[in-house]
Amino acid sequence: MRSVIVRPRLIVALLAAALLTGCGAQPAKAGSAAIVGDHAIPVSTVENRFDAVLQSRPRMLEQLESENRKDELASRIAAFTVRQELADRAARRQNLRVTEQQVTEWIESQGGAEAAMSETIFATGEARSVARSLLLMRELGSAQLPKVSVRFDYTSATTREEAKSKAERMARGPEQAAELIAEDRSSGNPAGEGRELRAANNPSMAANTPLFAAESGIVVAFRGNGRSTKWMIARITERRSADEKGRSSAAGSAAELEQRFGARLLGLTAQRTGVELSPRYGVWDPVAVTVVPDEGQRSGFRL
């Protein structure tokens, strides 16, 4: 999943200038960058953020133009703006909130608004908006990490095409899934039924895969982390969120992991509400909860 936080070298490669007029593509709805549920995100929201960051970082404009990557910045801004809307919806559903004082404290902890935004794709004026969303994602992750568990049937694949084929077969229902798993087992491929995982016991997996952000009956297929070339195809048979009031308490890298888990959970909100993206920015990736240039670059499948 792409985070809003990026490294200085990467930002130089990404943040220079671009026109937001995509290659003749029409928006999903006139004047909309994206539709999240029944809410339209105006193109002007993305345009204003785009213009602001470029005006404040003119050297980046030259860099992006020279590398012919002028559309990537707009796509990344659109992606985070969609995640902001999803975070707001998820927080309302779970009665979570972030106070203005928390936002202020976070910005101060980063050295002020300018420092806080210096390694992001946003201008200083967006500091409070960005901070609030990142804190909401952390709240979501913190609240759900001790509670969520999943049971799933799974198999594996070595190529994207094979993963897609197996995901489509598993999505046809439990009988087809069981047959596929039996076939793969007999062939010596990693496969199984009724595997159970708790997010709290597997926080890295929770933050880096879509397993805990899919409802019962959903099939997800995704590539393993790191250098792994294996694909996992999982059919969620049960997703539970225990009725507990426990919440993890983390700082440093653990807090960042909670934020990433919260961002992953936005995939569940996107599944429930629906996300429609203007093609000028690319296509929505429901597995990584971000925007990618085309369907072939999606990080996996969600059926």
Please give the residue range of the domain that contains residue 97: 8-144+274-300
What does the pLDDT look like over 116-137, one tens digit per residue? 999 899 999 999 999 999 999 9
Q: Which three-class secondary structure state does DSSP give residue 98? A: coil
pLDDT at 25: 42
Q: What is the pLDDT of residues 176-217, one digit of tens each?
A: 999 999 999 999 999 999 999 999 999 999 999 999 999 999
Beta strand spans in the chain (E): 32-36, 39-42, 148-157, 192-198, 219-223, 231-241, 275-277, 283-285, 290-292, 300-302
Could you tell me if residue 253 is inside a domain? no
Residue 186 domain-assigned? yes
Asked if residue 185 is part of any domain, the answer here is: yes
Is 133 inside any structural domain? yes
Q: Is residue 215 part of a domain?
A: yes
For residue 179, tell me if it sits in a domain. yes
pLDDT of residue 233: 98
Does 221 lie in the same domain as 161? yes
On average, the pLDDT of the chain sits at 89
Domain co-membership, 74 together with 32: yes
Same domain, residue pair 133 and 155: no
Do 22 and 96 have their domain in common? yes
- Of 224, 240, 256, the one marking the end of a domain is 240
pTM: 0.86
Residue 1 lies inside a defined structural domain of this protein: no
How many CA within 13 A on the CB side of residue 79? 26
- Co-location of 49 and 140 in the same domain: yes
pLDDT: is 297 or 250 the higher one?
Answer: 297
80-100: per-residue pLDDT in tens? 999 999 999 999 999 999 999
Q: Is residue 197 in a domain?
A: yes
Domain boundary among 197, 225, 240: 240
